Amino acid sequence: MAEDPVGLDVPTDVSPAELEQIAIELARVAGRFVVADRPRELGVSRTKSSATDVVTEMDQRCQDLLRERLAATRPGDGFYGEEEGGRRGSSGITWVDDPIDGTVNYLYEIPAYAVSLAAVVGDPAAVGGWRPVAGAVVDPVAGELFHAREGGGAWRITADGVRRQLVLEEPSALDLALVGTGFGYDPRVRTWQAEILLEVIAEIRDIRRIGSAALDLCHVADGRLDLYFERGLNAWDLAAAWLVVSEAGGSLTGLDGRPPGSDMVVAGGPRLLPQLQRLVLAAVDKVGPVPVAGVG
Ligand code: IPD
Ligand code: CA
């Protein structure tokens, strides 16, 4: 992939192709699980950064399932997920999972959520201190799976089993680009994000807020979106989809030469990504810094 913020090497005894197969199989298992085992009365089991930042019992159960399966398959690997229960490893590989990306959609039965699973090197808790090696994102309602490994291309498998390599294509100009974005759970941050969006929206074709960052990024790779930007993402939201975008010929970055991380993620192809980056940077300069540092 083009960005290698830390120059971390993949351990020599590790096969990225094998990690990719594990990611595909487990993302599929987890995707089936969140659809099939959803209780009739799905409630909120706890909240995180705000009253609307919810965790359902299925987020935690899905993460537990992935963690247990990975411990059985590759006991030396670390595990870092959105919900409770991480593990340090000894192999040099850490699995990063978002058991349900798009939890609010899942809660409301809006069919736009995903399971994201990636094998990474480095420390996924440190912005700029890790990179993905292999990963998969499954959209269990559409029955679609996106997968990639370093140097292996980006792929989409549709519900009827058709496997197609993804090659990112770009419109000729920014004002023709359909741009995905998202908003955080803290209302003060969301208001700031809306102010940034006001500076961007007149310069593009239109905006989409689908509600799953992992799917948004995969859709930049498959052409359902042209570009994407969002503040407040964590490693679990983007680990697998980062690789899908970069293996399709695009990239993810932050602002001002920084790596993609919680401050900002901008994603797209080589023609329009720098233009969106400049637009978002100018918007941040005009609007001012986010009012609540460290809150997504
Ligand atoms: C959220 C989704 C959403 C994005 C938020 C994320 P979650 O993840 O990806 O699209 O806008 O920033 O936190 O909470 O549903 O796993
Ligand atoms: Ca997420």
Q: Per-residue pLDDT tens for 137-193?
A: 999 999 999 999 999 999 999 999 999 999 999 999 999 999 999 999 999 999 999
3-state secondary structure of 243: helix
Tell me the pLDDT tens digit for each residue of 38-90: 988 887 888 887 788 777 889 999 999 999 999 999 999 999 999 888 999 99
- Say yes or no: CB of residue 183 within 6 Å of ligand 1: yes
Residue bearing tokens 């948004």: 216
| Ligand 1, atom 2: closest residue by C-alpha | 212
Residue 49 carries which side chain, given as an amino acid letter? S
Tokens of 241: 């989809």
Residue 182 CA to residue 283 CA, distance in Å, equals 16
Of the listed ligands, the closest to the CA of 232 is: 1
Ligand 1 atom having least distance to the Cα of 53 = 14
The crossing angle, in degrees rounded to 10, of helices 16-36 and 57-73 is: 150
Q: Quote the ligand 1 centre to 239 CA distance (angstroms).
A: 13
Q: How confident is the model at residue 7 (pLDDT cuts 50, 70, 90)?
A: low
Distance from residue 214's CA to the centre of ligand 2 (Å):
7
Ligand nearest to the CA of 186: 1
Q: Quick one: DSSP state of residue 7?
A: -
**Ligand 1: does its nearest atom lie under 6 Å from the Cβ of 180?**
no
In DSSP terms, which residues pair with 252 in a beta bridge? 267
